[in-house]
């Protein structure tokens, strides 16, 4: 920083270069101009160099006090709180919006793709209801580490550019250090954004503008369709069907699949009480607020389709205002494709996980029977597939050893071996490292107490999901019953 530089004497590079603010320019009525609260004593906890590079920012410049100030929105013009509604646990909330978040601005990434920069935990906005507008360090770091893991696993997700401790204390029953997350996303258009315009504002003109904007930004081919709203809906259904399959294949449990937490782009967004399933059980729930198990692991595809039905309802006037019944029929026909589209991705993915390049042959029940076996025998989802690869290579005890009753696995393993699995195919898709719950909790507890060491080691580990030399803390389930694990919304 103090060394001679080629550009010495010239003005320092701007830490962030924003593009033209298309959301603000085109979607008047969907935001409130608002500025972030200043942080009394900001300290950079995380800066993702590769994300900075992606969005054309100068990582070194972002590490300076001026860079950190820019990341926190200081002196940034045109920041806004975005409006949206949402179905939360099935009930409609007409006005949610960015209660503690702001759209910092838009950037063009290295590929020329438009991305949002967004702040979370930057203070109360006019959309805030009860909350304080703040966020504790733990949940913001959780969003960073889980989204890094998802990205490393090749799953579409928002990323964290930075996490900045604010120097402020926030209260969540106990005093906690506060933080702001700087998030990068394809956009922050949600199913709930469409619901807000259609159901809350009931503004047909704005709904049309929102559709045009969302099509141009995410699904441009829909613009050429006879009914662009329908083609757009089809594209969102396709993106979500694939996303959900990818979540299910790695055992990801989002935790709060409200319609305001589901994107139009097909990126995973809003990591709250999320976690990776360890022992296989479709009823796995981690969120302390999900009492009925609405958002359990095994229910996620169903819920995604339910959410997409809410998107269809919001789009109906654009699909056919004069003949609502015909419009509903057309939308329903597309909605009904969700299970098959999800199923295609899921089946292809499970077959790859099992090394079955030629499918299951005659043995159509092979996958379902495996799921039953994993459930009955309380087998760790991630370990199971790595162990099966070892078994395919001749280590007969590798998979059996994970079961409560090793003998219970014999019949299924023989059926599977008869399909000639390729263990190299398996190892290429089955992760070794996932952010395991105990390691995450331990790292967040240390980080909250001021020691970032365990957290940084965890992040390094989840960045290399296929590394076979990772420490046991990142590759082995905790001793205790995984059913005891609970994550909190951390608002």
Footprint on this chain of Mg ion (rule: CB under 5 A) = 261, 270
Q: How far is the CB of 49 from ligand AMP (least distance, A)?
A: 27
Residue 166 CA from chain centroid, whole number = 24
Would you say 67 or 99 has its CB closer to ligand AMP? Answer: 99
Q: How many CB atoms lie within 10 A of CB 291?
A: 9
**Strand, helix or coil for residue 330:** helix
Binding residue count for ligand AMP, defined by CB under 6 A: 18
Q: How far is the CB of 313 from ligand AMP (least distance, A)?
A: 20
Give the span between the Cα atoms of 283 and 32, in whole angstroms: 40
491 touches ligand AMP (CB under 6 A): yes
Q: How far is the CB of 256 from Mg ion (least distance, A)?
A: 7
x/- string (CB under 6 A) for ligand AMP, residues 233-262? -----------------------x----x-
Catalytic-residue membership of 111: no
Give the span between the Cα atoms of 421 and 415, in whole angstroms: 11
Q: Which of 260, 281, 290, 427 is catalytic?
A: 260
Q: By the 8 A CB rule, do 301 and 339 touch?
A: yes
128 touches ligand AMP (CB under 6 A): yes
H-type helices in 336-466, by residue range? 338-353, 366-376, 381-392, 397-400, 410-417, 423-429, 437-448, 453-462
Q: How far is the CB of 372 from Mg ion (least distance, A)?
A: 35
Residue 353's binding partner out of Mg ion, ligand AMP, none, with CB under 5 to 8 Å set by partner kind: none
98 touches ligand AMP (CB under 6 A): yes
Q: Give me the torsion for CA of 21, 27, 33, 39, rounded to 10°.
A: -60
131 touches ligand AMP (CB under 6 A): yes
x/- string (CB under 6 A) for ligand AMP, residues 50-89? ----------------------------------------
Would you say 181 or 331 has its CB closer to ligand AMP? Answer: 181
Distances (CA, A) of 386 to 353, 382, 390, 392, 417: 9, 7, 7, 10, 15
Residue with nearest beta carbon to ligand AMP:
131
Q: By the 8 A CB rule, do 310 and 404 touch?
A: no
Q: What are phi and psi of 114, to 5 degrees?
A: -80, 130
Give the span between the Cα atoms of 286 and 297, in whole angstroms: 9
100 touches ligand AMP (CB under 6 A): yes
270 touches ligand AMP (CB under 6 A): yes
Q: Indicate which single residue of 132, 313, 378, 442 sits in contact with ligand AMP (rule: CB under 6 A).
A: 132
Give the span between the Cα atoms of 90 and 100, in whole angstroms: 23
Q: How far is the CB of 310 from ligand AMP (least distance, A)?
A: 16
Give the span between the Cα atoms of 152 and 432, in whole angstroms: 12
* Nearest-10 crossing angle of helices 300-319, 324-335: 150
Would you say 219 or 254 has its CB closer to Mg ion? Answer: 254
Give the span between the Cα atoms of 47 and 459, in whole angstroms: 12
Would you say 261 or 305 has its CB closer to Mg ion? Answer: 261
Would you say 158 or 409 has its CB closer to ligand AMP? Answer: 158
Q: How far is the CB of 404 from ligand AMP (least distance, A)?
A: 37
What are the residues binding ligand AMP (CB under 6 A)?
Answer: 96-101, 124, 128, 131-134, 256, 261, 270, 272, 489, 491
Catalytic amino acids?
260
């Amino acid at each position: 920083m103090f060394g001679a530089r080629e550009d010495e004497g010239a003005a320092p590079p701007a830490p962030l270069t924003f593009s033209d603010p298309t959301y603000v320019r085109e979607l008047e009525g969907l935001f409130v101009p608002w500025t972030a609260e200043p942080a009394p004593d900001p300290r950079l906890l995380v800066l993702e160099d590769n994300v900075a590079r992606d969005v054309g920012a100068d990582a070194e410049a972002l590490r300076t006090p001026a860079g950190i100030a820019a990341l926190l929105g200081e002196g940034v013009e045109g920041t806004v709180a975005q409006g949206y509604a949402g179905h939360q646990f099935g009930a409609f909330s007409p006005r949610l919006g960015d209660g503690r978040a702001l759209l910092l601005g838009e950037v063009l990434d290295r590929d020329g793709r438009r991305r949002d920069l967004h702040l979370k935990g930057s203070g109360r906005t006019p959309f805030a209801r009860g909350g304080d507008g703040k966020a504790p360090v733990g949940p913001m770091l959780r969003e960073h580490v889980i989204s890094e893991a998802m990205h490393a696993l090749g799953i579409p997700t928002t990323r964290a550019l930075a996490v900045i401790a604010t120097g402020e204390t926030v209260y969540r029953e106990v005093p906690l250090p506060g933080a702001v997350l700087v998030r990068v996303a394809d956009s922050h258009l949600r199913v709930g954004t469409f619901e807000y315009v259609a159901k809350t504002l009931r503004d047909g003109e704005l709904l049309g503008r929102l559709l045009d904007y969302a099509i141009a930004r995410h699904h441009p081919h829909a613009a050429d369709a006879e009914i662009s709203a329908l083609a757009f809906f089809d594209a969102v259904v396709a993106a979500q069907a694939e996303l959900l399959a990818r979540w299910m294949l790695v055992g990801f449990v989002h935790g709060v699949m409200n319609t305001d937490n589901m994107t139009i782009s097909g990126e995973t967004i809003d990591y709250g009480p999320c976690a990776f399933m360890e022992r296989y059980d479709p009823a796995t729930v981690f969120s302390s607020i999900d009492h009925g198990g609405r958002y359990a692991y095994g229910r996620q595809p169903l819920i995604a389709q339910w959410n997409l039905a809410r998107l269809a309802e919001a789009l109906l006037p654009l699909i056919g205002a004069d003949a609502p019944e015909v419009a509903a029929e057309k939308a329903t026909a597309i909605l009904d494709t969700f299970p098959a589209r999800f199923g295609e991705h899921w089946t292809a993915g499970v077959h790859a996980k099992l090394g079955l390049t030629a499918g299951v042959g005659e043995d159509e029940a092979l996958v379902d029977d495996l799921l039953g076996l994993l459930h009955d025998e309380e087998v760790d989802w991630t370990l199971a597939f790595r162990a099966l690869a070892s078994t395919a290579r001749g280590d007969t005890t590798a998979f059996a050893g994970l079961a409560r009753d090793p003998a219970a696995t014999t019949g299924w393993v023989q059926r599977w071996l008869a399909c000639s699995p390729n263990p190299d195919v398996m190892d290429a898709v089955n992760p070794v490292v996932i952010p395991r719950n105990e390691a995450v909790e331990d790292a967040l507890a240390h980080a909250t107490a001021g020691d970032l060491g365990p957290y940084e080691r965890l992040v390094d580990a989840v960045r290399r999901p296929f590394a076979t030399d990772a420490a046991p803390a990142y590759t082995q389930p905790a001793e205790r019953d995984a059913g005891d694990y609970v994550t909190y919304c951390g608002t």
